[in-house]
Structure 1
Amino acid sequence: MKNISLIKKFEILEKEFHKISNSIIQPHIVSNQKKYKTLLKKYRNLEKIVTIYEKYKKKLTALQEANFILKNDSDPEMKEIAFLEKNKILEDLSDIEKKSDNLLFSLFPTGKENRVEDDHRNAIVELRSGTGGDEACLFVEDILRMYIMYFKQVGWKYKILHAQKGGIQGYKEIILDVSGKEEVYGNLKFESGVHRVQRIPKTESQGRVHTSAITVAVLPEIKDIEMKIHISDIKKDTFRSSGSGGQHVNKTESAVRLTHIPTKITVECQEERSQHKNFEKAMNVLRSRIYQNEKEKRLKERSIKRKSLVSTGDRSVKIRTYNYPKGRVTDHRIHKSIYNLVGFMNGNIQEMINFLKLSEKNQ
């Protein structure tokens, strides 16, 4: 019962274990007590994983030996012993896999504790238009402006990784890489979900209020060292950029589309003139999406019942309504309304985020 996915995790964690083993004996680490304690705690957790991995590898070797005897030995008695041994080994492997899964979950959880563990990361923010046609595209642009103004307030930087313009104005889709000194994902994770707007569109001659919606997805940024993606698992396509760039976009296929074959996750990037740079940015987004996908899958498999959807990142959940006629923004997860829509759309969203943080803490 060879679990390829588990082995890959074991290998990554084993490498990290050996790396930390070398680090914690270095004088500059030992002299820094805070850093030393953090690394020592991680070392002890990883040591448990590595010990189990050693047992797992021994069982896999024994399984190979039993299979060899079953296939090549002509002695019926030896085959009978190998057959019984193989069944016992398979039971042991299954038991180790279950224990490993539980240990990995307890040490590196994907529930509430892991959400907090991810809080220190930078973030990938994806905005997409939903129901409402051109009005939804315009609202994507409005929410983008809101976030950019918020980033300026808190001193964060952002880069546009991918942008697809709307039919008339606004954006059908835009993806940002957001970085800062601390808790970028820890603040922005609350923005994941469906954002609904109620207002009179500029194109509405009757003065009727329309309802449109967009989707926001916030993913923790995952570095290359934390998640290795095999190039053989990626299909790469290139095409001509549809964005800005003057004559350049008509001459070279600098835009990149990556498809992760095992998960069918697709990422596009076309903001850079260099195909190489677009590839790097697309890989960055791809790692974050695969990581988030894995987290959500594990939570589903374990049937974890959440008390709230405050920061699960569920993209199908309606989280917030922006009501322009009443000048009100309401977050439906915590039933909180702020009657200063103008200020909110100008980037003053920290108050709402603080309420959401408090709600998550009290779960």
Structure 2
Amino acid sequence: MFAKLEEIEHSFEDLEKELGAPEVLADQERYRKVAKSHADLGVIVRAFREFKRLSQELADNRELLKDADPEMREMAEAESEGLKVSLEKLDTDLKLMLLPKDPLDDKDSILEIRAGTGGDEAALFCADLFRMYSRFAERAGWRVEVLDASPTDTGGYKEVIASISGDRVFSKLKWEAGVHRVQRVPATEAQGRIHTSAVTVAIMPEAEEVDVNLRGEDLRIDVFRASGAGGQHVNRTESAVRITHIPSGLVVQCQDEKSQHKNKASAMKVLRSRLLAQEQEKAKAVETDIRRAQVGSGDRSERIRTYNFPQSRVTDHRINLTLYKLDAVMEGDVGDFIQALTSHYQTESLKLQASGS
């Protein structure tokens, strides 16, 4: 590990020199790339330098432990214990920093939420979850754009698809893929009985044209009149677009915009992301169960979280974490779950690395 860290420190110093070179300063694109690499390595280098500084302090303290003055020895021993704790934490942090990065983490995401079992109540919870993720995105400074939606008469959604863009969106949201279960008393329930409904959440890295090559001959594009909510243009112009990817059988349709051109662009964006997610899932199928789960394989048959309204309780079943702050979570406060899941899967990766897997 330390040989790798020394190598990273040398690379960081080289980049530092390169940032001041006239030819780099004159080329904005090159300067941005060098500056980003410098910033990325800087996090590791600062931690490594702090590790080396504390290690030297600990070595100096060991000399003081031999001092003839008992008070000096006692003070040195107390300081040494604190240094050991700090070094252990830094050692873990550095190992985590050196874990292979998921190349998709920096990408924007396509969020798909679909009502499952539970009828109208599932559709209402579908809308609740979309609002929750929208609030979380707002807190993070991300942008949310609805690509397609199928609203219900009761104010819910049968399905809603949105693009979320910002800083490292997929790295945070990939843990949210799966089946979310809700337990609550529906507004229409006269007897006050608790109903259980389910909603499926899919999180896909937003694919660019370079990620997925779509050939024109592999696509069938149909246009039709939009239906449902949408204003005056509904059922008057053929603005809705349906794209079928013939080789995979995937079908995507968008009708949220009045413009056929915009709906087609949105449908292509969703199709690319679904195809990229499909390729990623195939690749992960040959890895261990832990590895498949780590990078958000999106196993939609697995219940990942339960929202219990009567008890104001939210439980993530993958890590057995229960928080009694349902109202805050539904307002977008899901950071505790995301942070805990990230730590969990990083720990699993460290175990795999240590075992030579």
After TM superposition, the score normalised by the length of structure 1 is 0.68
Shift of 1:156: 0.8
Q: Verify: 1:163 aligned to 2:140, yes or no.
A: no
Does structure 1 conserve the Cα–Cα contact (< 8 Å) formed by 2:181 and 2:303?
yes
Does structure 2 conserve the Cα–Cα contact (< 8 Å) formed by 1:255 and 1:278?
yes
**What is the correspondence of 1:35-184 to structure 2 with a 5 Å cutoff?**
35=34, 113=100, 116-166=102-152, 168-180=154-166, 182-184=167-169
2:256 corresponds to which of 268, 271, 280? 271
Shift of 1:148: 1.2
RMSD over equivalenced CA pairs, Å: 2.3
Residue 356 of structure 1 is matched in structure 2 by 341
CA distance in structure 1 between the aligned counterparts of 2:324 and 2:30, rounded to whole angstroms: 52
Shift of 1:113: 4.5
CA distance in structure 1 between the aligned counterparts of 2:255 and 2:29, rounded to whole angstroms: 45
Q: Verify: 1:225 aligned to 2:224, yes or no.
A: no
Name the SS for the 1:284 alignment partner.
Answer: helix
Residue 47 of structure 1 is matched in structure 2 by none
CA distance in structure 1 between the aligned counterparts of 2:309 and 2:118, rounded to whole angstroms: 16
Classify 1:33/1:247 alpha carbon distance in 2 versus 1 (closer, same or farther; 3 Å): closer
Residue 305 of structure 1 is matched in structure 2 by 289
CA distance in structure 1 between the aligned counterparts of 2:156 and 2:194, rounded to whole angstroms: 19
Does structure 1 conserve the Cα–Cα contact (< 8 Å) formed by 2:224 and 2:239?
yes
Shift of 1:303: 4.7
Which range moved further: 311-320 or 326-335?
311-320
Shift of 1:166: 2.4
Shift of 1:165: 1.4
2:170 corresponds to which of 175, 185, 192? 185
Shift of 1:32: 3.6
Classify 1:129/1:312 alpha carbon distance in 2 versus 1 (closer, same or farther; 3 Å): same
CA distance in structure 2 between the aligned counterparts of 1:282 and 1:34, rounded to whole angstroms: 31
CA distance in structure 2 between the aligned counterparts of 1:199 and 1:36, rounded to whole angstroms: 50
Which residue identity is paired with 2:34?
Answer: K
Shift of 1:226: 2.6
Shift of 1:30: 9.8
Residue 80 of structure 1 is matched in structure 2 by none
Shift of 1:133: 0.5
CA distance in structure 2 between the aligned counterparts of 1:291 and 1:217, rounded to whole angstroms: 13
Structure 2 gap ranges (5+):
1-22, 38-98, 349-357
**1:92-126 residue CA offsets vs partner (Å, 9 max, x unmatched):** xxxxxxxxxxxxxxxxxxxx946x22111100000
Name the SS for the 1:358 alignment partner.
Answer: helix
CA distance in structure 2 between the aligned counterparts of 1:279 and 1:31, rounded to whole angstroms: 34
CA distance in structure 1 between the aligned counterparts of 2:254 and 2:218, rounded to whole angstroms: 18
Shift of 1:246: 2.6
Which residue identity is paired with 1:148?
Answer: S
Q: Verify: 1:242 aligned to 2:227, yes or no.
A: yes
**1:207-259 residue CA offsets vs partner (Å, 9 max, x unmatched):** 11110000000000011133220011011111111243333122111001111
**1:129-184 residue CA offsets vs partner (Å, 9 max, x unmatched):** 0000010000001111111111111111111000001253300000000011x111
CA distance in structure 2 between the aligned counterparts of 1:333 and 1:160, rounded to whole angstroms: 29
Does structure 2 conserve the Cα–Cα contact (< 8 Å) formed by 1:118 and 1:186?
yes
Residue 211 of structure 1 is matched in structure 2 by 196
CA distance in structure 2 between the aligned counterparts of 1:315 and 1:131, rounded to whole angstroms: 13
CA distance in structure 2 between the aligned counterparts of 1:195 and 1:158, rounded to whole angstroms: 21
- Sequence identity, in percent? 46
Classify 1:186/1:37 alpha carbon distance in 2 versus 1 (closer, same or farther; 3 Å): closer
Does structure 1 conserve the Cα–Cα contact (< 8 Å) formed by 2:284 and 2:291?
no
Classify 1:236/1:33 alpha carbon distance in 2 versus 1 (closer, same or farther; 3 Å): closer
CA distance in structure 2 between the aligned counterparts of 1:236 and 1:30, rounded to whole angstroms: 37
Residue 261 of structure 1 is matched in structure 2 by 246
Shift of 1:298: 2.1
Residue 199 of structure 1 is matched in structure 2 by 184
Q: Verify: 1:330 aligned to 2:315, yes or no.
A: yes
After TM superposition, the score normalised by the length of structure 2 is 0.69
Does structure 1 conserve the Cα–Cα contact (< 8 Å) formed by 2:284 and 2:297?
no
CA distance in structure 1 between the aligned counterparts of 2:33 and 2:147, rounded to whole angstroms: 36
Name the SS for the 1:342 alignment partner.
Answer: helix
CA distance in structure 2 between the aligned counterparts of 1:261 and 1:272, rounded to whole angstroms: 25
Does structure 1 conserve the Cα–Cα contact (< 8 Å) formed by 2:306 and 2:316?
yes
Name the SS for the 1:315 alignment partner.
Answer: coil
Classify 1:246/1:37 alpha carbon distance in 2 versus 1 (closer, same or farther; 3 Å): closer
Residue 282 of structure 1 is matched in structure 2 by 267
> Which runs of structure 1 show a deviation greater than 3 angstroms over 4 or more consecutive aligned residues?
29-34
